[in-house]
Structure 1
Amino acid sequence: MFLTEQRETQMTAGRQGKANETITPHDPRRTTDSAPGAPRAGRLPGPHQHSAAPAEPRRAQDGRSGYTAQALERDIDHLYPELPHPETTRDLLPSTGTEILLPETARRLHGRLHAALITPVRQTVDHGGRRWRPTLAATVVEALGADSRPYGPLWAACELLHTGSLIIDDIQDGAPLRRGRPSAHLEHGTALAINAGTTAYFSMHRAIRQTLPDDPRLRSRVYETYLDALQAAHAGQALDLQGHHEEMSVALTTGDTTVVRQLVAQTHRLKSGAPVAAVFRIAALVAEADPAQCDALAALGEAVGTAYQITDDVADLRGVSRQGAATKRVAEDLLNAKVTYPLVRALARMPQDEARQLWEQVRSGLDADGAARAARRIADCGALDECADEAHRMVYDAWKKASDRLRPSPSGRSLGALCAEVLHSRIA
């Protein structure tokens, strides 16, 4: 098992702006083909031992705390309230005309929009989720020496639009469970869930209007960043929906998995890396970071998002549960005949005949028992450890470059630790 050994190596600060880091070196019982000097298994900046709670935010100069979990829940409730509210209707509609409606008509309008657009997303949010995207966004602002609290709606929108994408993903993947509960499309119907999920993408638009009303230049840059990421994520989803079966078949014929591996990695980078990169860049923009800082932090966000998707592929094969209950089907990707990063890595490590046999079984369709056996074969060949190593190296390398652009501070160290924890808690 990986990421369970008690092992730590201290790296001291180098150039100005580089905070002290604690990384976990590679287990000496295993070998890997990583480049000399590259971090190895478990090897992320920040403390390896980390509680489930977010790091304490930077304290503002006035002595008050920075952006808190309670503030995030408040801002989510403001954008997506639990009960219908006229203000939400006005915020959802560009020009409501509700002033000419009878009171009963207005009441029904508020209720119907809430039931169709707010409730499916709000229920999915309330079913769980680690809220790491808004936490990291706020920490980026704090690490740059600014106060993250005035931009709370932006961080809440990060969580809401992510939730909307999950609703759409579950429809397209035919997933019956999300966070241990029936997926939104099973509770509310597919058509309504599609509409609610895509509407959640506009929560960032609503948050920008509320947060940056008097700064058109900054607002324009934030919009551009967000729309670029939204476009990239849809391109990544297009690749994901098409799958990579043709490239996998070619790889098994030639014995070279490079092309299919790069395509899967690019899919992850577009679908999962680009949105987190945008979150980090938006946080840097509102903190008035310089262009080099914006670029380095966006690269860190892309690395975290991409690496998280790789570890999500790993977690899918191991099973994901909360309080002893499964939150999704084990090996769901294999059941859907999906080409994932661990599968590609596994087939590259197996003898060609064995790899071809495994892929034919996956492509032909597996039942639950068959998927469990295939998952064990993938784990036994070392592919899951290899994927975890690569994910950690990806974030570690990006963090080294980003930390060089930050002044030493507790918030800077928290940012590194939280990036580490995003991956560690997923696959530990």
Structure 2
Amino acid sequence: MAPTEPVGPSADGARAGQQATGAGRGIEHQLDRLCPPAPAGLAVWLPGGHGSGLSADTAHALDRRLHRALAEPVRHMVDAGGGRWRPALLLQIVDLLGGDGDRFGVLAAALELAHTGSLVVDDVQDGSALRRARPAAHEVYGLPAALTAGTYAYFAFDRAIGLCAPDDPVLQGRMREALLAALRAAHAGQALDIQGHRREMDQALAAGDSGPLRRLVLATHRLKSGALVGACCQIAAIAAGAEPAVSRALLDWGAAIGTAYQIADDVADLRGVTNDSGALTKDVAEDLRNGKVTLPLAHAATLLPRPAAEALWTAIRDGDAPEADIHAARDALLRCGAVAASEHDADRLCTDAWRALAPLLPPTPDTARLRTLGHHAVHARRPR
């Protein structure tokens, strides 16, 4: 496959993901190991030494309480499913670069838990009531419990590193450095997302130029969503002992995939997403209800006639617009070319990053499968 050619829609990303997470290192098993479905001992929750000196009864009671507080809200989302494409990317890269996927499968699960924790926190901050076709964690367990469990999920990676590289402090340090950098970036992106881009939308409409706004939205997406996917790919390269240039290119490609996935989420918010049983996995047009500036809305600032764009924005800007206005805004965004322009941006990001990465990878079927996984993550929710 030529490195700049797009993968066609017939590519079976799900099958490639299953191959990358084969027998002996199944992601579900590793997720259970790090965030068990039932109490499994204080060592799951506490670093060495912090549980010493406790009586057996006290240790057992703390294990039950910490499981209820730290595992159950996250398991609520883990057990609802999810694509699991992030751990599949990590394991595919480890295999591709000649590393030991069985050894590092626990890292893949830890990064999936970090992503799940970020969803739990994001739903609190966005006031989202529905996630993966079930009530969001904070709707079931309350705000304080959801925030604590969601942020705790980031630290599963610390335990995972100790499990897969107990006698290699240099490797541990390099992987921790990569994850901490990604978490810093992701929190910066979340801060920008919470602030929103309303003033910049006002400026785009006044100037008739949405370029600065679109670049700001993309930068926010790259930080909020791209950073953790980039870290997933970078950590895989580190685990496999890749050269720095390969590690950097994989980081950039992963960040592009994560950014494009967030663009796909912006679009899916307009189209609606259902699971295999036909149930909505999240509320349709939630971003419009919140007056949130997404990439399709940024494109619409100049794709719609100026009076229509200004009227649309005025109607939804402050959130809680009437349902008739939400439906009208959604229909306008779907019709004006904003969705197609957003999907073009997503594809360009991925193509450009792959063009830089592909010459550094061996020309093997594993490389083709890696690109298929990335393509599938971005394209899975597009109409066929």
TM-score (norm 1): 0.85
Q: Does 1:119 align with 2:72?
A: yes
Do the aligned partners of 2:204 and 2:301 also contact (CA within 8 Å) in 1? no
In the TM superposition, residue 368 of structure 1 has moved relative to its aligned partner by: 3.2
Assess, with a 3 A threshold, how the Cα gap between structure 1 residues 99 and 269 changes in structure 2: closer, same or farther.
Answer: closer
Task: Indicate if the aligned counterparts of 2:13 and 2:375 stay in contact, CA closer than 8 A.
Answer: no
Q: Does 1:217 align with 2:177?
A: no
Among residues 272, 276, 283, which one is paired with 1:319 in the alignment?
Answer: 272
Cα distance between partner residues in 1 of 2:84 and 2:203: 39
Equivalent position to 1:339, from 293, 296, 309? 293
What is the letter of the counterpart of residue 337 of structure 1?
Answer: G
CA distance change for structure 1 residues 254 and 56 in 2, over 3 Å: closer, same or farther?
closer
Q: Deviations over 1:347-405 (max 9, x none)?
A: 11112111111110111432333212211101100110111111012111211221110
| C-alpha spacing 1:57/1:119, structure 2 compared with 1 (3 Å) | closer
CA displacement at 1:54 relative to structure 2: 3.1
Question: Following the alignment from structure 1 to structure 2, what is the Cα–Cα distance between the partners of residues 69 and 425?
Answer: 27
Q: Provide closer, same or farther for how the CA distance between residues 101 and 213 of structure 1 changes in structure 2, counting only shifts above 3 A.
A: closer
- The verdict on how the C-alpha distance between 1:98 and 1:286 changes in structure 2, with shifts beyond 3 A counting, is closer
Match of 1:399 among 354, 370, 382: 354
Question: 2:140 corresponds to which residue?
Answer: 187
Instruction: Specify every segment of 5 or more residues in structure 1 that has no aligned partner in the other structure, as ranges.
Output: 1-11, 24-43, 59-64
Residue among 202, 206, 209 paired with 1:253: 206
Say whether 1:329 aligns with 2:283: yes
Q: Is the 8 A contact 1:269 1:305 kept in 2?
A: yes
Give the number of the structure whose alpha-carbon radius of gyration is greater: 1
Query: Corresponding residue for 1:131?
Result: 84
Letter in 2 for 1:55: A
Cross-structure match for 1:373: 328
Residues 66 and 307 (structure 1), Cα distance of their counterparts in 2 relative to 1, 3 Å cut: closer
Indicate the residue corresponding to 2:374 in structure 1.
419
RMSD across aligned C-alpha pairs, in angstroms?
A: 1.8
**C-alpha displacement at 1:105, in angstroms?**
2.2
Separation in 1 of the partners of 2:262 and 2:24?
24
Match of 1:351 among 292, 305, 323: 305
Q: Would you say 1:142 and 2:95 are equivalent positions?
A: yes
Aligned partners of 2:23, 2:337: CA distance in 1, in Å? Answer: 39
Structure 1 match to 2:9: 48
Structure 2 counterpart SS, 1:248: helix
Residue 102 of structure 1: how far off its partner (Å)? 3.5
Letter in 1 for 2:88: T
Output the amino acid matched with 2:280: A
How far the C-alpha of 1:209 sits from its partner, in A, is 1.2
Other structure's SS at 2:317 match: helix
> 1:67-78 residue pairs with structure 2 within 5 A?
67-68=22-23, 71-78=26-33
AA at the equivalent of 1:48: P
Could you tell me how far apart the structure 2 residues matched to 1:389 and 1:417 are? 18
Letter in 1 for 2:221: H
Q: Which amino acid is the alignment partner of residue 347 of structure 2?
A: H
Q: Identify, as 1 or 2, the structure richer in helix.
A: 2
Asked whether the 8 Å contact 1:57–1:142 carries over to 2, the reply is no
1:385 to 2:340 alignment = yes
Query: Could you say which residue in structure 2 is the equivalent of 1:108?
Result: 61
Per-residue deviation, residues 208-232 of structure 1 (Å, max 9, x unmatched): 1111111121211111111000000
- In the other structure, the counterpart of 2:256 is 303
Q: 1:207 Cα shift? A: 0.6
Could you say which residue in structure 1 is the equivalent of 2:35?
80
Q: Give the Cα–Cα distance (whole angstroms) in 2 for the partners of residues 337 and 69 of structure 1.
A: 46
Tell me the distance in 1 between the aligned counterparts of 2:66 and 2:293. 38
Gaps of 5+ in 2: none
Percent sequence identity is: 46
Confirm or deny: 8 A CA contact 2:14 2:373 kept in the other structure.
no
Aligned to 2:243: 290
Counterpart amino acid of 1:127? A
The answer to which structure, 1 or 2, has the higher relative contact order (CA under 8 A, 6+ apart) is 1
Q: Specify the code of the residue in structure 1 equivalent to 2:113.
A: L
Are the equivalent residues in 1 in contact too, given 2:12–2:372 (CA < 8 A)? no
Distance 1:258 1:339 in 2: 14
In 2, Cα distance between the equivalents of 1:422 and 1:349?
A: 27
1:328-347 per-residue CA deviation (whole Å, 9 max, x = no partner) reads 11000000100000000011
- Per the alignment, residue 198 of structure 1 pairs with 151
Aligned partner letter, 1:153: V
Query: Mean Cα displacement is larger for which, 229-238 or 210-219?
Result: 210-219
Residues 52, 324 of structure 1: CA spacing in aligned structure 2 closer, same or farther, 3 A cutoff? farther
Query: Partner letter of residue 148 of structure 2?
Result: N
1:184 to partner: Cα distance: 0.4
Q: How much does 1:57 deviate?
A: 6.7
Structure 1 SS opposite 2:291: coil
Corresponding residue for residue 172 of structure 1: 125
User: More displaced, 130-139 or 216-225?
Assistant: 216-225
